[in-house]
Amino acid sequence: MPTVASKPGQQIGQQHTITILVENRPGVLARVAGLFARRGYNVDSLAVSITEDPTMSRMTVVCTGDGYILDQITKQLGKLIDIIRVADYTDMPMLERELALIKVNADVTKRGEIKELVEIFRAKIIDIGETTFTIEVTGNVEKITAFESLLEPYGIREMVRTGRIALVRGARTAAQS
Amino acid sequence: MADVKRSHIETYKPVGPKSVRPIEDGTTTSGARALMLELKHQGCEVVFGLPGGVMLPAYDVLYDEGGLNHILVGHEQGAAHMADGFSRATGRVGVCFATSGPGATNIVTGLCNAMMDSIPMVAVTGQVRTSSLGKDAFQEADITGITLPVTKHNFLVTDANAIPRTIAEAFYIARTGRPGPVLVDIPTDIALARIDYHPVNDVHIRSYTPDVAMNIDSIDIAAQLIHEAQRPVIYVGGGAISSGAWEEVRELARKTNIPVTTTLMGKGAFDETHDLSLGMLGMHGTAYSNFAVRDTDLLINIGARFDDRVTGKVDGWASQAKTIHIDIDPAEHGKVYIPDVSLVGDCKYVLQALLPLVRERDRTSWNAQVDAWKQDFPLWYPTGQDEIIYPQHVVDELFKSTDGEAIVSTGVGQHQMWAAQFYKCRHPRTFVSSGGLGTMGFGLPAAIGAAVGVTDRPNWCVDGDGSFIMTSEELMPAVQHKIPVKVAILNNFCLGMVRQWQTMFWDERLSSVDLSYQPDFVKLAEAYGAVGLRVEKPSDVRRVIDEANDITDRPVVVDFRVNSHENCLPMIPAGQTVDQMIVERPL
């Protein structure tokens, strides 16, 4: 019997990190985002900027879905004319980082504790106000999430994350097949 | 121009003589003129369009440039469908023009239609001047944004110097790999800007390399599976026609005696009058093709995509079969089924690699079984009727009178399915029908586009009354340019397919399908200057078809008053399997 490709609900969604090299042209981001939206794929984070080659941009997309969805996303992305290469880094030895800025309540009595946490996580206090600290932290997703949860009790006023970026370990680049 | 794929039907002749004023390479000219020059350089000879404010620079060039024929349409949707029909019939890239705003939005349906059926075409739209973009200018529409999901690619030209390269890239993208529609949006100030024109001979797109080597590592396994199969079936789709692979398909069938079924899009890839032909499969396919697929142990998919109109319930279809999937688009492999053998590449080249590895097979008891099914479950309709015209009879007579040599276009609905069932196509690029999108109103403009492209075959549009009403205004350009399309309206005074579903599945609650207030189609045709004919008795059907076939200088509309209670059978209701197929045996 021919194997049916997608069995909805039978596979648990996994988080995948997909790196896309694209032509640096207006509208490319809209195409990629449109593709995800139109097919109902959920994007957890999206980071994009130009690369060492100024005519080429790199997008790092973190999305959740099962193997079938991932396979289809990758192939559909590959069909877009402005996409140079699509690589799924999920199962490869990957270096991933994210940057977060966290504005946390820093009452005088708590400042010491917070500063200790900042040191332990090798973060940086980049702004001090009368009642708040703004902290910059970089790391992989577990580190950022851990730091955030340790700061929660003090009261996080505002937080922004860049979304994950990633490179594969070693000499290999995304541009190579 | 080296890679331009040529259809085996190379009879396109431009409408009327026009002089070409040659331009020297590197002469300074307007963006608009560079556009026309590059279109001609890419092989375009006719454009279907309608002018507007921002297209004035382009149309001014058309007025005295010569060499590009323009057909003024009644509605821009007609222009898009004409370009589409032109492409399907000739294998070339059809071109349409529209102005900004409503002109551009009017071609969206046509672009979506071409996208769904993988038809190459290039649409050039005018746009407001660059300084007005995004400011809700008069007749401004973000057409590149709107058409992102319905084009293979689109361009907004912001530098006039890029016009020739953009047009060259548009054609390249449209016709290579899996073909598709490409839109080029040109702001009016860009069209007026002065540039140095150089024809483009080389297109290189870093991010798009459709000629990359195919993946056919498992081709030996495919050949082995074919050798071992007891009850194989060849399933051919539109990809075989896009690829020009019909001779390879024929050779494969001849060598192996394997029965061949085609999809709606694949009609004509294999001669339907041939012994091995099973006709069309799927929801309204022949009973015998669906039985063959039910029992097959090897399905050889050549350029088809396991569309839901073919499979019905996906996990109940071809349940005993291994599958070999040959398709140029890697995204189709594993989209519906994970094939046992995946051969990614252009059908023609994959088959050329496969054929030498395939061993000859004689006819077997499987062929005898298939033939028995064809005997016992033929397509049929009641005959010997004096008073009622059966729609199937009209198509049957059309087939007989043209000997299967006409180009047949259709609208969408019951008439389309009857045309697909009863018009046995013998040649590729002779069945022009909206498959994936199912666009009512496609028929007449597509027939016109096909007639412009192919002038040595009779050109018939089998249409429905509902579908015909949607784009009947295109009779105007057909009359103006003496395009001899013939429209056979299977007139049942209702939206037939919807009525059928309401009758079968919605308790006969016929909600909004009554077309009793339709115009008199004979008078409508005559109002446009076309010939209008009406047929009300079965004995007149063939006579009037022959009469229409003799008219060669203007369109003909024939209003066939057909039985309005006829259901299109066989039918496998949506999402079901062949076990639920509704079929009638001859009385």
> Per-residue confidence at A13, pLDDT binned at 50, 70, 90?
confident
Residues of A with CB below 8 A from B178's CB? Answer: 79
β-pairing, B337-338 vs A3-4, is: antiparallel
Q: Tell me: the pLDDT tens digits for B57-103?
A: 999 999 875 668 999 999 999 999 999 999 999 999 999 999 999 99
> Residue B116 is encoded by which pair of tokens?
């769904």
β-pairing, A132-139 vs A94-105, is: antiparallel
Chain A nearest C-alpha distance from B209 (Å)? 9
What architecture is domain B28-196?
Answer: 3-Layer(aba) Sandwich (3.40)
> Residue A60 is encoded by which pair of tokens?
């790092």
> Residue A36 is encoded by which pair of tokens?
């995800």
The string over A67-81, giving b where at least 16 C-beta atoms fall within 10 Å of a residue's C-beta and e elsewhere, is ebbbbbbbbbbbbbb
Q: Tell me: the pLDDT tens digits for A109-131?
A: 999 999 999 999 999 999 999 99
pLDDT at A15: 84
CA atoms of B136 and B346, how far apart (whole Å): 44
> Per-residue confidence at B384, pLDDT binned at 50, 70, 90?
confident
CA atoms of A5 and A29, how far apart (whole Å): 29
Burial class (CB in 10 A: 0-12, 13-18, 19+), B585: exposed
What architecture is domain A95-165?
Answer: 2-Layer Sandwich (3.30)
**How large is the angle between the packed helices A67-79 and A28-38, nearest 10 degrees?**
150
- If residue A20 lies in a helix (H) or strand (E), which one and from where to where? strand A14-23
pLDDT at A8: 60
> Residue A154 is encoded by which pair of tokens?
């003090």
A residues 90-129 closer than 8 Å to B (CB): none
- Mean pLDDT, rounded, for B454-459: 95
pLDDT at B92: 97
Distance between alpha carbon B229 and the CA centroid of its chain, in Å? 33
3-state secondary structure of B524: helix
| pTM, full prediction | 0.93
Superfamily per CATH, domain B219-376: TPP-binding domain (3.40.50.1220)
CA atoms of B267 and B284, how far apart (whole Å): 14
The neighbour count for residue B287, using CB atoms within 10 Å, is 24
Q: How big is chain A by its Cα radius of gyration, in Å?
A: 19
CA atoms of B12 and B16, how far apart (whole Å): 12
Q: Is the pLDDT of residue A9 over 60?
A: no
- Mean pLDDT, rounded, for A63-71: 83
B330 and A75 in contact by Cβ < 8 A?
A: yes
Q: Tell me: the pLDDT tens digits for B302-321?
A: 999 999 999 999 999 999 99
The neighbour count for residue B10, using CB atoms within 10 Å, is 10
Q: Is the pLDDT of residue B356 over 80?
A: yes
- Mean pLDDT, rounded, for B370-383: 95
> Residue A108 is encoded by which pair of tokens?
């005088």
Q: Is the pLDDT of residue B485 over 90?
A: yes
Pick from A3, A22, A79: CB nearest B338: A3
- Mean pLDDT, rounded, for A90-96: 86
β-pairing, B260-262 vs B277-280, is: parallel
Which amino acid makes up residue A167?
L
Burial class (CB in 10 A: 0-12, 13-18, 19+), B87: buried
pLDDT at A100: 96
Please name every residue paired with B344 in a beta bridge, in sequence order, or none if there are none.
B215, B327
Say yes or no: B152 contacts chain A, CB-CB below 8 A: yes
- Selected from 3.30.70.260, 3.20.20.30, 3.40.920.10, 3.40.50.300, the CATH number assigned to the domain covering A14-88 reads 3.30.70.260
CA atoms of B442 and B435, how far apart (whole Å): 10
Q: Are B229 and B222 in contact (CB under 8 A)?
A: no
CA torsion sign for B345, B310, B416, A38 is negative
Average the pLDDT over each of A11-20, B127-136, B388-397 and give the range with the smallest value. Answer: A11-20
- Mean pLDDT, rounded, for A5-25: 79
- Mean pLDDT, rounded, for B252-281: 98
Residue whose structure tokens are 């548009």: B170
- Mean pLDDT, rounded, for B463-468: 98
CATH number, span B391-569: 3.40.50.970
Cα–Cα nearest to A97, from A36, A163, A154, A146: A163
CA atoms of B443 and B409, how far apart (whole Å): 5
Q: Is the pLDDT of residue A91 over 90?
A: no
CA atoms of B92 and B43, how far apart (whole Å): 8
Say yes or no: A10 contacts chain B, CB-CB below 8 A: no
End-to-end alpha-carbon separation of chain A, Å?
34
The neighbour count for residue A18, using CB atoms within 10 Å, is 21
Cα–Cα nearest to B82, from B2, B16, B72: B72
- Mean pLDDT, rounded, for B513-540: 97
CA-angle at B41, arms to B23 and A23, nearest 5°? 115
Q: Is the pLDDT of residue B11 over 70?
A: no
CA atoms of B270 and A140, how far apart (whole Å): 57
Pick from B173, B207, B318: CB nearest A2: B318
β-pairing, B459-464 vs B485-491, is: parallel
- Mean pLDDT, rounded, for B314-334: 95
> Per-residue confidence at B10, pLDDT binned at 50, 70, 90?
very low
pLDDT at A147: 96
Say whether A95-165 and A14-88 share the same fold: yes
Cα–Cα nearest to B402, from B379, B414, B419, B385: B419
What is the residue extent of each domain of chain B?
A: 28-196, 219-376, 391-569
Q: Is the pLDDT of residue B587 over 80?
A: no
Q: Are B374 and B456 in contact (CB under 8 A)?
A: no
What is the residue extent of each domain of chain A?
A: 14-88, 95-165
> Per-residue confidence at B12, pLDDT binned at 50, 70, 90?
very low
> Per-residue confidence at A26, pLDDT binned at 50, 70, 90?
confident
> Per-residue confidence at B154, pLDDT binned at 50, 70, 90?
very high
Q: Is the pLDDT of residue B187 over 90?
A: yes
> Residue A161 is encoded by which pair of tokens?
């994350």
> Residue B50 is encoded by which pair of tokens?
């309608």
pLDDT at A156: 95
pLDDT at B65: 59
Residues of B with CB below 8 A from A82's CB? Answer: 153, 207
Residues of B with CB below 8 A from A23's CB? Answer: 206-207
Which residues make Cβ contacts (< 8 Å) with residue B144, sequence separation at least 6?
A27, B154, B155, B156, B183, B185
- Cα nearest neighbour of A21 on chain B: B207
Which residues make Cβ contacts (< 8 Å) with residue B336, sequence separation at least 6?
A4, A5, B305, B306, B311, B314
Chain A nearest C-alpha distance from B222 (Å)? 15
Chain B nearest C-alpha distance from A156 (Å)? 38
> Residue B521 is encoded by which pair of tokens?
């189609």
Residue of higher predicted confidence among B470 and B67: B470
Global ipTM: 0.86
Residue whose structure tokens are 């969805």: A69
Chain B nearest C-alpha distance from A6 (Å)? 7
Q: Are B141 and B104 in contact (CB under 8 A)?
A: yes
Pick from A27, A34, A72: CB nearest B149: A34
pLDDT at B283: 97
Residue whose structure tokens are 């004409």: B82
